[in-house]
Amino acid sequence: MLPKENRLTRKKDFSLVFKYGARLKSGYLEVRIVENKISILRIGFIVSKTSFKAAVERNRVKRQLRNALRLKLPTLKNGYDLVVIARAEIKKKSFAQISQEMDKLLAKITTVSK
């Protein structure tokens, strides 16, 4: 579970990330990033009902994404809002594959956020 201060929950915050944020994509993940006015890294997740019909699937994917990012949280730069969007292809991936793909995206993020 992500610490409460690192969660992006308000619709207004998600809208700002989508309006002003940079976009990075991989095969089954997309990350949007925007600088925030506070010195805390906040992360939100989007797992759509159209791609994942069952709530069990959506919740499993969100848990895997949260855990992958929680493990990397100490190494990430503060002062940004991230939104991670899962695509339908993620259903077939293991946690190790998801974590590896997240590492690749986070490496790209550090070049975008400088």
The full set of domain ranges for the chain reads 4-112
The answer to whether domain 4-112 has CATH 3.30.390.30 is: no
Q: What is the DSSP letter of 7?
A: B
Query: Are 6 and 40 in contact, with CB atoms under 8 Å apart?
Result: yes
**Pick from 20, 16, 71, 81: which is nearest to 45 by CA?**
81
pTM flag (> 0.85):
yes
Q: What is the DSSP letter of 45?
A: E
Ordered per-residue pLDDT tens for the chain, 114 residues: 888 999 999 999 999 999 999 999 988 999 999 999 898 999 999 999 998 999 999 999 999 999 999 888 888 888 999 999 999 999 889 999 999 999 988 888 766 555
Give the phi and the psi of residue 67 in degrees, each rounded to 5. -65, -40
Can you tell me the distance from the alpha carbon of 71 to that of 57, in angstroms, rounded to the nearest whole number? 22
